[in-house]
Amino acid sequence: METWPGKAYPLGATYDGTGVNFAVFSEVATRVELCLVDDDGSERRVDLPEVDGFVWHGYLPGVQPGQRYGYRVHGPYDPANGHRCNPHKLLLDPYAKAIDGMADGDQALFSYDFADPSEDPGKANIEDSLGHTMYSVVINPFFDWGQDRAPGHEYHDTVIYEAHVKGLTEQHPDIPEEIRGTYAAMAHPVTIQHLKDLGVTAVELMPVHQFVDDFTLRERGLHNYWGYNTIGFLAPHNGYAAYGTRGEQVAEFKGMVKALHAAGIEVILDVVYNHTAEGNHLGPTLCFRGIDNAAYYRLVDEDKSHYYDTTGTGNSLLMRSPHVLQLIMDSLRYWVLEMHVDGFRFDLAATLARQFHEVDKLSAFFDLVQQDPVVSQVKLIAEPWDVGDGGYQVGNFPPLWTEWNGKYRDTVRDFWRGQPATLGEFASRITGSSDLYQEDGRKPIASINFATAHDGFTLRDLVSYNEKHNEANGEGNQDGESHNRSWNCGVEGPTDDPQINALRRRQQRNILTTVLLSQGVPMLLHGDELGRTQQGNNNTYCQDNELSWVDWDLDDTERGLLAFTQRLVRLRSEHPVFRRRRFFAGSADHGGESEVGDIAWFEPGGSHMDEAAWANGYARAVMVFLNGQTIPEPDTRGQKIVDDHFLVLFNGSDGDIEFTIPTADYGDSWVVEIDTATEGAPDPAQQPAAYAPGAKVTAIGRSVVVLRCARS
């Protein structure tokens, strides 16, 4: 084939209308072959003729979008010194923007000799992986975005909905069957209408970067469902494509983003830059391992045949390598500039901070993000932990970042399941966790507040099970978290007891009310608003089936929960007192009060909380006053924000409690907005028109009552 020198930048395969420039980094390579794979599975090999700065490159005129390709990298196979080149393995382009096929698990994918897994350098596996591996695809980068523009919701106005592309749409009866479980299904009007009716402003999609279906799972008849097994950092996962995988998935993904943006909904991607799908030293050679193992992965210093692993997946990317950092930053910019996404949630983000051994929030990765004019301007959400030493870093990320607040999740769960000594911390969490974020200049929006996420129980299961029930995963129920901070309300799993079922429904409403009315950014797990259950499985990473998918066949109870959630989101949206941009002026200790009067805390009898009340480890009830007329920040036009006052009555005890409305200094006429004791909206016929100061309001055992005082 005719081959021109081409250019070393940009990396990847770049189509310009008449041909394609190919460029791939490898410092260890002695020769790099570009392999064009034809429809019949045969290949045409072309030596890349030029190398500049360890980037091998060449331009092939006439190559068109849809062309499948890969690389064969010649160089040392010397695991003891960290090198694993093997030209018998067809390798993915680290910068591939589309990937076709799926690796099949054949022995040909592995570089070491199966007869000698000790990996004697002289016994590399010479079986050819062509026909067993995945293929990079040249894409057409052109797309008609029309009038697309980012919704640009401020954090304090944001309600996040964590969703799985397939899980959310696979069983929806009003989506055409042939596109269910795909990007096209996410863009379907019925999906978008559900999100709009719910009132969420952003979908946080579980991994959509190209991932690998674990071979060991397939042997058990299971599949990688969550997708935290990335192999292509610039390629949308081909398993979610309705219209083809020879690059068509790119346009389909863009169409999904465009449709969601038109509805005012942002798209946040859950991204996995901490490890890859190649696993440990016994894993397959699909891409990075065969291109330049020591440049991409963190190896054990004293034994470079093994990988340093802080992710629990077998490997960790080398965060001090300039080429790894370049790949991550190029990937992030690509998804923002070319795919128009609005932000990222970083899986196991503490690993990204491990430039050397310790977690260092000032590592090179965070410096690069801080100064990048594109990436620094989108939503950046950290999962602030990993499995390595010192990996739990909630509250310790740089000011530009927000965090999944694991302490919020744990405290809210503990409060509603009746654990002692949680009242003070509960107060701190629902007011924005100033103890975690205020000292370094961050604001309440730094806290992503959630009680449930993909990893763990659904909301319904959180109030229905004390123990995990993961037998279906085939690991003897040993996988998944054993300390769930859950409470089954008296019976493990499904029951016909009407009182227990009523309590479980109320507990779901309590937790939703807490999350959606706390200061910070609320996040809901898809299906929680519908009462979704996973039958007690808290680790459905391998359950690509009805156990994990959202069931859209709703009964009256589930429709009622949906309506309740919609009402909560609407209340938050309509009242800025629940979504302040700044912390309350009171001290962080137990959500203390201040001279400004923006917040006040009361015992059920109406007296102010004092130190003794906060120190009572068995106190289970508190009333908080939110002053709608002392919100310090102006609106977008510079006008003072004035809202109604609210009283929120939390009763986490088993018994009914009478709360006394505070004095007229706090408001003279209070009406019920939310009462989690009721299945539907509060019935005006069952309540006085308004509660006056000194009146008694009963909050039944384990319930929340929200009272509003209209501004005078």
Catalytic residue, from 347, 529, 544, 593: name it: 347
Query: DSSP per residue over 150-170, as a string?
Result: -----GGG--EEEE-HHHHHT
Cα separation, 333 vs 327, whole angstroms: 10
Residue 636 in tokens: 């977008």
Which secondary-structure segment (H or E) carries 513? helix 498-517
What residues contact residue 421 under an 8 Å CB cut-off, 6+ apart?
Answer: 617, 618
What token pair was written down for 285?
Answer: 């050679």
Contact 646, 705 (CB under 8 A): no
Strand 447-449 to 43-47 pairing:
unpaired
347 is catalytic: yes
CB neighbours of 611 closer than 8 A, spacing ≥ 6? none
Give the Cβ contact number of residue 374 at 10 Å. Answer: 13
- Whole-angstrom Cα Rg for the chain: 27
Is residue 441 packed enough to be buried (19+ CB in 10 Å), middle (13-18) or exposed (0-12)?
exposed
Greatest Cα-to-Cα distance within the chain, rounded to the nearest angstrom:
89
Would the CA dihedral through 457, 389, 353, 580 be positive or negative? positive
Length of the chain: 712
Return the ∠ at Cα 459 (arms to 457 and 463), rounded to 5°: 85
Which amino acid makes up residue 120? D
Chain mean position to CA 100: 25
For the residues of 81-99, what is the DSSP string, one character each? GTEE--TTS-B--TT-S-E
Q: Is 383 a catalytic residue?
A: yes
CB 90 within 8 A of CB 104: no
Look up residue 707 and give its two tokens: 């009272």
Residues 227/233/234/239 CA torsion (nearest 10 deg) = -20
Q: Which of 170, 270, 309, 383 is labelled catalytic?
A: 383
What is the Cα–Cα distance from 105 to 414, expressed in whole angstroms? 43
**Active-site annotation, residues:** 347, 383
